[in-house]
Structure 1
């Protein structure tokens, strides 16, 4: 009987749909402060970054379809913004970090465009999906009363139906 149960469980797992080829880029930075995640419905269609002049990243915001997430961190000065074209996705995040803050961010798109903010100082990092065709799905990390202290990236495949909207 136990063998039959094991066989049923294994077969059920084989028939299940794939997990949208999820991958996670480990967080960089010191990691103190309040945790955040930028999860939303739909595809990411925009990115906003705030930076402390000649210093580090203070705030991050993503737009899913037409809705902006709450700002993670602080809005200091004018936002640097990248609005994605139809079908364009975020395929890489690079930058610099130290033990306390994320100092620089590059968001690179599938069309080769990018948004850069912050200062090129300290340790380099590069985040990208493990699976071909995957895109940025959400960010997570921490911030304190001065800026972003850690950042990780979550990647996966978008489920797009015929009218270019994401389906669960």
Structure 2
């Protein structure tokens, strides 16, 4: 059974700050399996931990994508403090130590991350005929009404409501 599709156009609430964290790896040398596979296999345990402890950790949701050489995980967090606290946590530190021991500066595998701290009212989204995805999975999925039909209206809705 597939995910429930929400027919029509939806958006998300943008009345709270959100942190978007993008992390991934790139296999630079496919034949160096012993170098990149430990990096690849470290993620499922951390993802499981995040979903099992969402409220406590401040983790909201995530999406994952896999290409021929590159993986990417986009995650949404309640705050940068929550994200940084998780980075200092036992499971992440253990994975980071293992990476440094097995890979270090070896160029067989690359890793990357980007962090965006986005203030409330400074982001918007639209989903047409989609299951819960991205921010709509991380935050509240909301039907688009005439008052918020355009991106400009969705972006200004929080500013308008805040000045009342």
The normalised TM-score by structure 2 is 0.26
Q: Which has the higher strand share?
A: 1
Q: Which has the higher helix share?
A: 2
The normalised TM-score by structure 1 is 0.26
